Amino acid sequence: MKRICVIILLLLLLVPAVSAADLPRWGPYITSADEDTVTIHYYLYENASGAVELAFRGNTTVFSSEPGGFHHIRIEDLMPDTEYSYRILVNDSWSETYSFRTLGAENYMFVVSGDTRSEPPFTQAERHGVVAESILNENPLFVVHLGDFSGDADDPAEWDRFFSAGRNLYANTIIVPVQGNHDYAKLYTEIFGMPDWYAFTAGSLKFLVLNTNGWTQIRFANQTAWLGEETQSPKPKIALFHHPFYTTDQKRTGLTTDQIPVWQEIFENGGVAAAYSAHMHAYERYESGGIAYVTNGAGGAPLYSPVTEPADEMVNSIYHTLGYVRVDVNGSEFTSTFFSVAEVSEDNSVLTTVFPKGTAYDVFSTTDPVSSPLGPGIIFGILSGAVFFIRRKR
């Protein structure tokens, strides 16, 4: 027995240990702007060297990078709607193999999440990590993060915790970042390298990523003019921004009460079918002017209870429940479902219930909103909202 133990010990000594220095400090994570381009990002510890190896149908291409710091490896001329695998070389150690799929499919699925910051006594791993693991199991084409990635975007240690909690998810899907009020720092821009507001197309849907933070209000006219131009396209659209227009905590709105109707009019005339926001740490769904306004700030941050009575436009809501929204796209139509992951105690200290995989709480579908803004999809949504158990803790 003693001899067996010695042999096992010797074998263990022969297996090179993967130290923290052999992993990127942050990432890898992927962004994409179109069907044939992705950017693979990672941040290396000081003096560490790195490279990306992209594999497709047995052919591999290596993209090397300078030691240390940020790396944003832009890969072009990819095929649309195609799965690629890749791995990262850090110093002399290869990572496991990750994969992503390029945009371009007409039928696909994406996830909407947001508000993943931690707050003592709980960590990102204990909350955001639990939600990220559930999202990973869905294998979405991309994940929209609606903002407030961490509590202080200026603190690298906060980003350590964010990327550690969601490492497997963000290495294996495309992330669509939306800037929240906690993401104020230059470091946020360095990490994602995205403009303050931007648009992209996936299949028959156009996505409008807007910025409702106070520091952009001086450029509200510019952003509104851009929004007006982007909504000229006949494609159905989905708007993504951090601060909700409708909420049971009015202190948490972003745009002013004068500004919100300006964008709502553009949405209604410009084929926006749904708008997704976060900031209020709960799930709420409203319907106004033929548009579904969905709040999902239940990605891991401390959960909130409603402060005010819900507006007449409210269809459904759930509080103190971590979860994510899955959107199944079929051409220009889509179905949006909130999945509950775990119930959290009123004081946010513990998870009281972890729900089985696939626990759907709220669902709505919409047909092409351009031709039928009040079509059967919205009616189905209202009916489904009525039959689902609505629980509001106050």
Residues that bind Fe ion (CB under 5 A): 148, 180-181, 279
Tokens of 106: 């007409």
Shortest spacing between CB 180 and Fe ion, in angstroms: 4
Rounded CA separation 296/210 (Å): 16
Q: In sequence order, which ranges of 63-197 are alpha helices (DSSP H)?
A: 128-138, 156-165, 167-171, 186-192
Residue number, 43 or 122, with CB nearest to Fe ion: 122
CB 80 within 8 A of CB 35: yes
Residue number, 241 or 334, with CB nearest to Fe ion: 241
Shortest spacing between CB 362 and Fe ion, in angstroms: 21
Residue number, 116 or 337, with CB nearest to Fe ion: 116
Q: Report which secondary-structure segment, H or E, holds 337.
A: strand 333-344
- Residues with Cβ within 8 Å of residue 124, at least 6 apart in sequence: 116, 117, 118, 150, 161, 162, 164, 165, 300
Shortest spacing between CB 161 and Fe ion, in angstroms: 17
Would you give the DSSP letter of residue 385? H
Residue with CB nearest Fe ion? 279
Residue number, 180 or 299, with CB nearest to Fe ion: 180
Residue number, 236 or 254, with CB nearest to Fe ion: 254
Shortest spacing between CB 119 and Fe ion, in angstroms: 13
Residue entry with tokens 């009123």: 346
Chain CA centroid to CA 127, Å: 15
Shortest spacing between CB 261 and Fe ion, in angstroms: 22
Shortest spacing between CB 50 and Fe ion, in angstroms: 33
Residue number, 25 or 279, with CB nearest to Fe ion: 279
State in Å, rounded, how far the first CA of the chain is from the last one. Answer: 62
